[in-house]
Chains A and B, each alone.
Chain A
C-alpha cells in the first residue's frame, strides 16, 4: 500500500480545484456581493438625498406660501382702499350734484317770484291808473301823464 502517487494526484487535484473554485465560485460571488453592497449603499445615499430634497422643497413651498399670503394681503388692502376712494368720490359727486340741482331750483323759484312781482306791480299800476281815471272822471291824457305813472311805478318797485 503505497500512497505516493495518490498523494501527488490529490495535490494536483487540490491545486486545480483551488483555481476553478476561484474562477467559478469565488470571483463571481464576490463581485455579485460587492455589486449588491454598492447598490444598497447607493440606495441609502439616494434615500438620504431624497429626504434632503424633500425638506428643501417643503421649506421652499412654505416660503412661497408666505410670500403669496403677504401679496394677497397687499392686494386686498389696495382693493379696499380703492373701493373706499371710489365710494368717497361717488358720495362727493352725488352731494355736489344735489347741491347744483337745489341751487338751480332755487334760482328758478327766485325768477318766478321776480316775474310775479313785476306782473303784480304792473297790474297794481294799471289798477291805480284806472282808479285815478275813475276818480277824476275824466280822460287822462295817457301820454301826458305816463311819466308820472312811470315814476309811481318806479317808486312802488
Chain B
C-alpha cells in the first residue's frame, strides 16, 4: 500500500511509526493530541445530533419509527443493565452509562474505517490548506486507541466512585475503610497499601483494557495493510482484512459494553452497604 506522501515507499517500520504518531499541537507539556480531540468531539456531536433528531420526531405511539426504535432499544438495554446493578434510582447513572456505551462504541468504530482513509484525508488537508508537508502530518483515527481517552473516562468514573463513596458513608467512614480493610485494624499500614492498590487497579484496568484491545486491533489492521507489498498479495490482503474486520466488530461492541458495565459496577460498589 504505497503512499504518495513519502519520497519513496516507506519501510514497514516507518509506516507503522507514522500511523502510531498523534497529530500533536504544541510542545512538550503543553502539547495536545488534536486528532484524538477532533474525532472524539465530532463523534460525540454526531450522536447528540442523532439524539436531537430522534427527540424532535419523538412519538409515544405504540410503534416508533426505525431510528427511534433503534435508539430506544440501546437506551433500554443500557437502562436494564444499569438498573440491575444499581438498585437505587440515580439521575446520573443512566446518562453516564449511555454516554460511555454510545461514545466508546462510536470511537471504537473508527477502527472499522480503512486504516489509511482518515490519515490520507488529514494529509491532503494539511498539505493543501495549511501548507505543511504531507509526511509531517500524522493522524490517528481511533481516539480509544490513544491512551488519553480511556484514561480520561476511567478517571472520571474513579472520581465519581470516590464522590459516591464519601457521600454514602461519610468522609470519616470512607477513609477508615482504607485502614481496617481487609485485615482488621491491627494491620493498618498494610491495609492502606492493599486498599490503595485495589482502588487504583480499578481505573487502571478499566482504561488499559479498552486501550489495549483497540491499540492491538489498529496494529493488526496496519500489519494487514503492509501485506499488500505486491499485486498478487491483494486477494490475500482483502481476505485477511475482511476476517479481522468481522472479528474486530465483535471486539469493539464488547469493549464498549464492558467499559459501561464495569463503570456502573464500580459506582455500585462504592455505594453498596457492606464495606466490601
- Is A9 part of the contact surface with B, judged by Cβ < 8 Å? yes
Measured in the bound complex, the distance between the Cα atoms of B49 and A55 in whole Å is 51
Residue ID in chain B nearest A8 by CB atoms: B152
Measured in the bound complex, the distance between the Cα atoms of B31 and A104 in whole Å is 148
List A residues 7-35 near B (Cβ within 8 Å).
7-11, 13-15, 17-22, 24-26, 28-30, 32-33, 35
- Is A136 part of the contact surface with B, judged by Cβ < 8 Å? no
Chain A residue contacts of B152, Cβ below 8 A:
6-8, 10-11, 13-14
Chain A contact-residue range equals 20 to 34
List B residues 54-111 near A (Cβ within 8 Å).
54-55, 58-62, 64, 71-72, 75-76, 79, 91-92, 94-96, 98-99, 102-103
Chain A residue contacts of B40, Cβ below 8 A:
10, 13
- Is A1 part of the contact surface with B, judged by Cβ < 8 Å? yes
- Is B216 part of the contact surface with A, judged by Cβ < 8 Å? no
Chain B residue contacts of A18, Cβ below 8 A:
92, 95-96, 99
Measured in the bound complex, the distance between the Cα atoms of B41 and A32 in whole Å is 27
- Is B24 part of the contact surface with A, judged by Cβ < 8 Å? yes
Q: Which of B119-127, B141-149, B220-228, B247-255 contacts A (4 or more CB under 8 A)?
A: B141-149
- Judging by beta carbons under 8 Å apart, are B75 and A3 in contact? no
Give the dominant DSSP class at A's interface: helix
Q: A1-B22, A14-B99, A25-B55 are in contact. Are A9 and B37 (CB under 8 A)?
A: yes
Chain B residue contacts of A3, Cβ below 8 A:
33, 146-148, 151
Residue ID in chain A nearest B31 by CB atoms: A2
Measured in the bound complex, the distance between the Cα atoms of B26 and A33 in whole Å is 47
List residues of chain B with CB under 8 Å of any chain A CB: 22, 24, 26, 28-33, 36-37, 40-41, 44, 47-48, 51-52, 54-55, 58-62, 64, 71-72, 75-76, 79, 91-92, 94-96, 98-99, 102-103, 143, 146-149, 151-153, 155-156
Sample 12 A-B pairs with CB under 8 A, ordered by A number. A2-B28, A2-B29, A3-B151, A5-B26, A7-B152, A10-B37, A10-B153, A13-B152, A20-B48, A22-B92, A32-B59, A32-B72
List residues of chain A with CB under 8 Å of any chain B CB: 1-11, 13-15, 17-22, 24-26, 28-30, 32-33, 35-36, 39-40
Q: A6-B37, A29-B54, A33-B72 are in contact. List 5 more A-B contacts (CB 8 A).
A: A11-B153, A17-B44, A21-B99, A26-B75, A36-B62
